[in-house]
Amino acid sequence: MAKFKIQTDDTVIVTTGKHKGETGRVVSVDNERGRVLIEQVNLVTRQVKPQGGRPGGSVEKEASIHISNVSLFDAKEGRKVKAAWSVVDGKKVRVDRKTGAAIAKA
């Protein structure tokens, strides 16, 4: 199982594909398959049957995107961020390769 630099609740930007340039918050990361689920990006329509009190019909939901097609995004600076692992005060943290600043877990 790989250790990715993109984690849940990070803000990312899609770098390739049909949704290139869209940004969103990471809902979940599938480490085994190397895929991420991004809020309100890569929406697909699915048909669902009625179940319990929920009516049936068409439902829009997010589909996963491969992790190589997204990059961390810094909204303050408006740019993509390349991350690296570094040890700061005895803890392993992600840092911005350009500025050296620690990337805070949201």
What pLDDT, on a 0 to 100 scale, did the predictor assign at position 19?
Answer: 94
List, for residues 59-72, the tens digit of each pLDDT value: 999 999 999 999 99
Who wins on pLDDT, 35 or 100?
A: 35
Q: How far is CA 81 from the centre of its chain?
A: 13
The pTM score is 0.84
User: Would you identify the CATH topology of the domain 11-78?
Assistant: SH3 type barrels. (2.30.30)
What pLDDT, on a 0 to 100 scale, did the predictor assign at position 2?
Answer: 66
What pLDDT, on a 0 to 100 scale, did the predictor assign at position 76?
Answer: 86
Please state, rounded to an integer, the average pLDDT across all residues of the chain: 91
pLDDT band at 106 (very low <50, low <70, confident <90, very high): low
Which residues is 58 bridged to in the sheet?
47
